Amino acid sequence: MALLEVLKYPDPKLREVARPVLTVDDSIRKIVSDMAETMYAAPGVGLAATQVGIPLRIFVIDVAADGEPSQLQIFINPEITERVGKHLWKEGCLSFPGVAEDVKRAKQVTVRALDLDGRPFDLVAHDLLAVAVQHENDHLDGVLMIDQVSAFARRRIGRKLADQTRTADTEA
C-alpha cells in the first residue's frame, strides 16, 4: 500500500472527467487499497480517484464515527440512479483543505456500482453517506465543491485558499 498525493484546487486534473473501469483486476484493487490508505491518513470520509490524479470512475467512502469500526465502501463505475429530498450539509473536501461550506444535496440517493470483485450492487444511502456519495461522484464528473456554492462563498473559498498558499510560501 502507498499514500497518494491528494491534488489541491485549482489543479486542472480535478476537472478531468473520469473514464469507466473496464475490468476489475488486481491493478484496480491496488488503486483502491492505496486510495483507502490515503483517505484514512488525510483524514477524510471519502476520496475519488480523480483527486489523486487517476482518471478512473472509482471512489472510496468510510463514514464510521471516531471509535467505531471501519465501514469502508468501494464504488467502481458508480451511477446515481435516484435522488430523494433535499437538505443542506456542511461539506469539506481533501482538495480544499480547511474549507467547509453548506451545499444543497439530496437527502437520499440510490447508487449502482461494482464492488472489488466486479459484481454489481445497489445501495440506498441516507444523510452523511448520501452526501459523500454525491460529493465523490461529482469529482468523477469534474464537478467540485466550489461549483455547488454561491458566488459569495466561492470568493470566500478563493481568499482562504490564497491565504493558505501565501502562508505556506512564507514558511517554506
- The 3-state DSSP class for residue 91 equals strand
Amino acid of residue 115? D
Rg (CA), the chain: 16
Contacts of 127 (CB under 8 A, 6+ apart): 107
CA 129 – CA 107 distance, rounded (Å): 9
Q: Which of the following is catalytic: 5, 37, 91, 136?
A: 136
* Nearest Cα residue to 79 out of 136, 142, 36: 136
* Nearest Cα residue to 61 out of 87, 39, 79: 39
User: Phi and psi at residue 84, in whole multiples of 5°?
Assistant: -135, 135
* Nearest Cα residue to 15 out of 51, 45, 39, 47: 51
CA 103 – CA 160 distance, rounded (Å): 18
Return the DSSP state at 45.
S
- 136 in active site: yes
Residues serving a catalytic function are 136
